[in-house]
Amino acid sequence: MTLTRAELAKYIDHTLLAVDATPEQVAALAAEALSLGTFSICVSPSQLPVSAPLGDVKVATVCGFPSGKHAPEIKAAEAALACAAGADEVDMVIDIGLAKAGNFAGLVGEIAAVRGNMPADRLLKVIIESAALTDEEIVLACQAAVKAGAQYVKTSTGFHPAGGASEHAVALMRATVGPDIGVKASGGIRDYATAVAMIAAGASRLGCSASAAILAAAPLA
């Protein structure tokens, strides 16, 4: 599979979620996203609203990040605040313990609480932390996300010691959710070959902080 620089850029959420990120770094991220032509930027909710010019670049943020160990009401309130501050998309971390325990109803409940507290025109991605789950748990979490009304499932926060995205997890997630729900691969995607491999496995979006280096290795045409 080969993607041109412009084609690949449209898969990328250009990401800055470092705990010490500054407003100046967010402004630089926005400028770089505009230059690269990425689909969006993804920043921490405390960095909203983004005042830097963005053109057509969307704004994504996170909630329940990075542990997922927040009450559903807190996640829902965080998502609502983020949308009110200009977020087009919210990447929500599930309580991974619910997936480990096989608690389907609990997963559906917390995801639905977030989805229900967001405007209908905003997009919800559900981070399942796939590297910390068995295949059966990945399937359970993805099925819960679909049932609760999420538009995307996402592999990873990039902060969990178990690791980030894998082609196997992406392929399993795609097989579980079918063609109409998005799959975002995130965590450990640092070069062109890995980015293209994730898309070939079924990813429809990529979370990357090394976007410039990845795209620099992509063919221009």
Q: Which residues, including other chains, have CB under 8 Å from residue 92's CB and lie 6 or more apart?
A: 62, 63, 64, 75, 79, 111, 114, 124, 125, 126, 127, 150
What is the secondary structure of 61-94 as a DSSP string?
Answer: EEESTTT--S-HHHHHHHHHHHHHTT-SEEEEEP
Tens digit of each residue's pLDDT, the chain (221 residues): 999 999 999 999 999 999 999 999 999 999 999 999 999 999 999 999 999 999 999 999 999 999 999 999 999 999 999 999 999 999 999 999 999 999 999 999 999 999 999 999 999 999 999 999 999 999 999 999 999 999 999 999 999 999 999 999 999 999 999 999 999 999 999 999 999 999 999 999 999 999 999 999 999 98
Amino acid at 164: G
Q: Are strands 205-208 and 12-16 parallel, antiparallel or unpaired?
A: parallel
Contact 59, 84 (CB under 8 A): no
C-alpha angle 96/132/166, rounded to 5°? 125
* Annotated catalytic residue, options 75, 95, 125, 154: 154
User: Distances in Å between the alpha carbon of 64 and those of 24, 69, 153?
Assistant: 24, 7, 15
What distance in Å separates the CA atoms of residue 80 and residue 23, rounded to the nearest whole number?
A: 21
* Annotated catalytic residue, options 13, 75, 125, 184: 184
Residue 221 domain flag:
no
Task: Give 3-state DSSP helix, strand, coil % of the chain, rounded to 5.
Answer: 45, 15, 40
Q: What is the CATH number of the domain that holds 18?
A: 3.20.20.70
DSSP single-letter state for residue 166: -
Residue 86 domain flag:
yes
Residue pLDDT, tens place only, 196-214: 999 999 999 999 999 999 9
Residue 98 domain flag:
yes
Q: Look up the domain containing 32 and give its range.
A: 5-216
Q: What is the pTM of this model?
A: 0.97
Residue 169 domain flag:
yes
**Any catalytic annotation for residue 20?**
no
Residue 197 domain flag:
yes
What distance in Å separates the CA atoms of residue 118 and residue 28, rounded to the nearest whole number?
A: 28
Amino acid at 71: A
Residue 100 domain flag:
yes
Q: How many domains does the chain have?
A: 1
Residue 112 domain flag:
yes
* Annotated catalytic residue, options 13, 75, 91, 125: 91
What distance in Å separates the CA atoms of residue 178 and residue 199, rounded to the nearest whole number?
A: 15
**Any catalytic annotation for residue 180?**
no
Residue pLDDT, tens place only, 25-43: 999 999 999 999 999 999 9
Contact 218, 192 (CB under 8 A): yes
**Any catalytic annotation for residue 154?**
yes
Residue 56 domain flag:
yes
